[in-house]
Homo-oligomer: A and B are copies of this chain.
Amino acid sequence: MSKYGRKYTHAVIATDVVVFTIKDEKLQALLIKMKKPEFRGYWAVPGGLVKGEEGLETAAFRHLSEKTGMRGVYIEQLQTFGDPKRDPFGRVVSVAYIALVSWDKHELKTSEQYGGVAWFPIAGLPKLAYDHEEIVRMAATRLKAKIEYTNIVRGLLPRRFTLTELQRAYEIILGKVIDKRNFRKKILETKIIKEVKGKISSGAHRPARMYRFVVDKPQAVEML
């Protein structure tokens, strides 16, 4: 038993993961539908309690896998939310994480205890349980900030992608159009991506060159 076992009414620790993707030309977040009668009609960010000797990230991965079927994604810590009243049923402190995925790489399936799992555009979220709306908003803000000085966008794209796809990701997250020539100049200067053999024909037009990220770990980069 912990040395710290009995002095206080303790809070419980949970993790929540805000999973973003770009789908239908929109930034979307992954939500699960709550089944408990107290939360009828509400959705939530996938997450749950941290077990005894389990690390925070481990717990985040476990709940993500159990509740959405997702595995093998990168997560990074967003912020910890600890308002004593954030959960009406007890004192839960939640460590929130962000993940970015290419939505077509993951088959979604949730467990019995939830009513479904689905993508929702950031502009157009359903009713969210607890303080999850605040969490998602903060995650979107952080994403928007970090895309300008890190290679965080890599999570959203498949291993091989075109410059136009990459540019669309930036445009959607930043919410503004970017000049094609300037974008290409800058992104190639950073050296975070690299051309790879092969072209892709995706319609009645000239085929596009393919690129990949040079490093797939997070790193800070001067950009845009």
Contacts and interface: CB of A to CB of B under 8 A. Distances in A.
Interface in A111-167: none
A54 interface: yes
Interface in A51-106: 51-56, 77, 79-80, 82-84, 89-93, 95
A9 B52 contact: yes
Contacts of A89: 2-4
B82 A79 contact: no
A62 to B, nearest CB: 13
* A interface, over-half SS: loop
B93 A53 contact: no
Given A10-B10, A10-B13, A11-B50, A4 B90 contact: yes
A51 B5 CA distance: 12
A49 interface: yes
A185 interface: no
Given A13-B13, A52-B91, A55-B84, 8 more contacts: A8-B12, A11-B52, A50-B82, A55-B82, A56-B80, A77-B79, A80-B80, A82-B95
